[in-house]
Amino acid sequence: MRLIKIFLLVLMFSGCASTTPDYVFDGSSAESTQQGVNYLSSQLSSTEQKKFLSALFQIHFYDTLTSTEALNNPELNKPLNFEVIGKKIDGMTYKEVLVFAKTSPTKVSVSSE
């Protein structure tokens, strides 16, 4: 929960420039994925950041069918497990990540409240 709050704060205080459409994620490790997410988040407007955060959560829980399943899976018990996310978005661009997240059976919304 603390990591989610930190991540949301970073997103809120990031710059609002538009992203480079050809940025490609390196999902080879949790660290490289997190660096890519942080970099890209800093390039997005606050509206785009919310869409991106929702997409990351949808991808994080992509293969999860129930809340019980999520609670019992140690890989998913971490907030935004970048290792799990990295395996799924490796080689994708920002726009491809958003499109991929829409195919997830898990639906997520992010509120600023």
Quote the pTM value.
0.69
Token pair for 82: 């970048």
Query: Rounded CA gap, 1 and 33, in Å?
Result: 19
- Tally DSSP H helices, then E strands, for the chain: 6, 0
What is residue 108's predicted lDDT score, i.e. its pLDDT?
67
| Res 16 pLDDT > 50 | no
Rounded Cα distance, 49 and 76, in Å: 22
Asked if residue 50 has pLDDT above 70, the reply is: yes
- Residues 56-112 have pLDDT tens digits of 988 987 876 566 665 666 665 667 889 989 999 999 999 999 999 999 887 766 666
**Is the per-residue pLDDT at 28 higher than 60?**
yes
**Confidence label for 17 from pLDDT (cuts 50, 70 and 90):** very low
Lowest mean pLDDT, pick from 2-11, 45-54, 56-65: 2-11
Closest among 98, 101, 97 to 26, alpha carbons compared:
97
